Amino acid sequence: MTDRSKIVNRKAKIENPIWIDLHTHSTFSDGSMTPTELVAAARAAGLAAIALTDHDTCDGLSEFLAAGKGSEVETLAGVEVSLEFGGRTVHMLGYGINTAHGRLRETLSRLVEGRNKRNTRIVQKLQLLGISIELNEVQAIAGEQIVGRPHFAQVLIQKGVVGSFDEAFDRYLARGRPAYFERFRLSPEEAIHLIAEAGGMAVLAHPYYMGMASDLIASTLTRLKAAGLVGIEAYYPEHTEGQTRLYVEMAQRFDLLVTGGSDFHGTIKPNIALGWGRGSLRVPYVLFERLRKALLRRGKNGLVGQHSGSKHQVSGFKSQVSGEDLP
Ligand SMILES: [Zn+2]
Ligand SMILES: [Zn+2]
* pLDDT for res 283: 96
**Stronger pLDDT, 146 or 206, i.e. the higher one:** 206
**Stronger pLDDT, 232 or 318, i.e. the higher one:** 232
| Cα of 98 from ligand 2 centre, angstroms | 19
* pLDDT for res 212: 82
Q: What value does the mean pLDDT take over residues 218-243?
A: 96
| Cα of 171 from ligand 2 centre, angstroms | 28
Residues making up the chain, counted from first to last: 327
| Cα of 21 from ligand 2 centre, angstroms | 12
**Stronger pLDDT, 211 or 323, i.e. the higher one:** 211
How far apart (Å, rounded) are the C-alpha atoms in residues 261 and 199? 21
CA 44 to each of CA 33, 40, 281, 320: distance values in angstroms, whole numbers, following the listed order: 14, 6, 17, 22
Q: What value does the mean pLDDT take over residues 49-61?
A: 96
179 part of a folded domain:
no
| Cα of 52 from ligand 2 centre, angstroms | 9
| Cα of 11 from ligand 1 centre, angstroms | 33
Q: What value does the mean pLDDT take over residues 148-163?
A: 94
Whether residues 153 and 300 share a domain: the answer is no
| Cα of 80 from ligand 1 centre, angstroms | 7
Whether residues 258 and 149 share a domain: the answer is no
151 part of a folded domain:
yes
- Which pairing describes strands 74-85 and 47-52: parallel, antiparallel, or unpaired? parallel
Whether residues 200 and 243 share a domain: the answer is yes
Residue type, 187: S
Whether residues 233 and 93 share a domain: the answer is yes
Whole-number average pLDDT of the chain: 86
72 part of a folded domain:
yes
Q: What does pTM read for this prediction?
A: 0.81
* pLDDT for res 318: 31
Q: What value does the mean pLDDT take over residues 249-262?
A: 97
| Cα of 93 from ligand 1 centre, angstroms | 8
Q: Residues of 245-274 as b/e, b for ≥16 C-beta within 10 angstroms? A: ebbbebbeeeebbbbbbbbbbbebbeebbb
**Residue 326 in this model has a pLDDT that exceeds 70:** no
Q: What value does the mean pLDDT take over residues 185-202?
A: 95
| Cα of 206 from ligand 2 centre, angstroms | 9
**Stronger pLDDT, 320 or 23, i.e. the higher one:** 23
| Cα of 209 from ligand 1 centre, angstroms | 8
Of 123, 141, 173, which closes a domain? 173
| Cα of 40 from ligand 1 centre, angstroms | 23
CA 320 to each of CA 22, 154, 258, 314: distance values in angstroms, whole numbers, following the listed order: 14, 39, 20, 11
Q: What value does the mean pLDDT take over residues 38-47?
A: 95
* pLDDT for res 16: 58
Whether residues 98 and 135 share a domain: the answer is no
**Residue 12 in this model has a pLDDT that exceeds 70:** no
Q: What DSSP letter does each residue of 84-116 carry, written as one string?
A: EETTEEEEEEEES--TT-HHHHHHHHHHHHHHH
Name residues with Cβ closer than 5 Å to ligand 1, which is an ion: 91, 205
Name residues with Cβ closer than 5 Å to ligand 2, which is an ion: 80, 263
Q: What value does the mean pLDDT take over residues 62-82?
A: 94
Domain count for the chain, please give it: 2
Whether residues 217 and 84 share a domain: the answer is yes
Containing structural domain, residue 270: 3-102+187-318
